[in-house]
Chains A and B, each alone.
Chain A
């Protein structure tokens, strides 16, 4: 179709706008439906496999059974109780561990002498995967509540401290020069130059730390717990109720997502002073 310009029409820009909006909405809807295609196909295959008994129901419960279990678990408050326990453990442990990590990292960042004394030990400790400490921690703290808090705090502390130190050391020299021009005092340097410049690195540490903390908590709960989401997964497995296992895994994913997004929102508030272009470079390691 050839489009003709009528002299009586309003200028193009104002008529084209709703059209563009509509096409944008359409493309977004198309995109969303493309993204949903795979889950839908999987769901169809899954329910077909169950109704035709291609796989025994003990190995793969039907989707509607999982849905019913999910609704039951939500209604009875059981799921929420376990989510709350896991959330409480990870938030308290992470808060303590990351606060200590930022403090230690900052102290090392301010004093080369302290860095010389402490950093090598940190470096050695961080070579060992966090999980390897679990059995030792279980020996020391038993399998009670203190194990979870101490271990989560420990899991968060190392990456946060190391990245905070990195942030303090990596302040661009030009920023410091600006400070020198303004004849900043040491305090002003810290509050107006060093800390803001270190924030992105600190957040890299916090995000890694939170991921580690959540991963560690779930694992500790799988190994030794009588409550929490990790326990719910193991419990369902022991009862051979895979519907419950799937519901619990789903909840683990949702909580992980909420934690990650929550921290990302906090991060974006802290990084508002930065131009958008340089913000994206602070993605976490995983």
Chain B
């Protein structure tokens, strides 16, 4: 490998080739009407639509609506998930009693529950938040369970030697030792709750939200709106995950790097 190939500038330039080629291809297809022109709009139309949505502020209303239900669902699902996972991981009895049912229900692709939920919780905000909570619940619960179960026996023996009460064992030994797994679960929960938000907006009652912008855009055969939605969804997902990663690194600062 030559020195030139290792230079970061070269790598960045190479990385830009494929997206640019795609963009040019897209422009050519739109300009020379190589595909159904009603569907394929030129790339600049996406930018234009984005500017319109930003200027009239509607994109922020949709974004705020989506983020709010995402957060509500995440908090609800993560709370229940951490508690359920901790119980499953710490207590053999709970694991034997609830574990099989818990793991069996996990097998259902989560979006299949939406039609049933729409009967029980309506098709409005409540159903959406409950569904998002369910999406976040499983990754959080599974990782917490794993983390609590795999706590080193020595740690628990130390707690026993210090005659810690049950509650202080949980607080000072169990939770800190399981923290990395719990955080990994929370990050996954964040990803899945965002996915759940989009899915809930697709499938439940129309209202404000990024998912609704996209579904409405498809119905009106407006590719620019659909594409705008994709970009926003991707950006939000990326930002949320990056923020969560920072928070995680901060919260786990006390741990030695090697473990």
Q: Which residues of A contact B (CB under 8 A)?
A: 31, 34-39, 42, 58-59, 112-113, 116-121, 124, 127-136, 138-140, 214-215, 218-219, 222-223, 229-230, 233-234, 236-237, 240, 242, 245-246, 248-249, 252-254, 256-257, 260, 285-286
Contact = CB atoms under 8 A, between A and B. Distances in A.
Interface string B206-222: 00000000110110010
B163 interface: no
10 contacts: A35-B97, A58-B119, A117-B14, A120-B18, A219-B111, A223-B202, A229-B112, A236-B115, A237-B118, A256-B108
Contacts, number: 155
Nearest to B139: A286
Interface string B92-115: 010011111100110111111111
B118 to A, nearest CB: 7
B98 A219 contact: no
A192 to B, nearest CB: 24
A132 B203 contact: no
Contacts of B115: 222, 233-234, 236-237, 245
A223 B203 CA distance: 7
A134 B223 CA distance: 12
A33 to B, nearest CB: 10
Given A129-B237, A139-B218, 10 more contacts: A35-B99, A35-B100, A117-B15, A117-B17, A120-B16, A124-B19, A127-B238, A129-B198, A135-B217, A252-B108
A257 B104 CA distance: 8
Contacts of A135: 202, 214-215, 217-218, 226, 229
Contact of A260 (B105, B107, B111): B107
B233 A129 contact: yes
Given A135-B214, A236-B115, A116 B15 contact: yes
A215 B97 contact: no
Contacts of B24: none
Contacts of A219: 109, 111, 199, 202-203
A242 B117 CA distance: 11
B183 interface: no
A128 B97 CA distance: 38
B61 interface: no
A34 B100 CA distance: 9
The 3 closest A-B pairs by CB, nearest first: A120-B15, A35-B100, A128-B234
B39 interface: yes
Nearest to B100: A35
Contacts of B198: 129, 131-132
A215 B202 contact: no
Contacts of B111: 215, 218-219, 222, 230
Nearest to A215: B109
B120 interface: yes
A119 B15 contact: yes
Contacts of B230: 128, 132-133, 136
Contacts of B17: 117
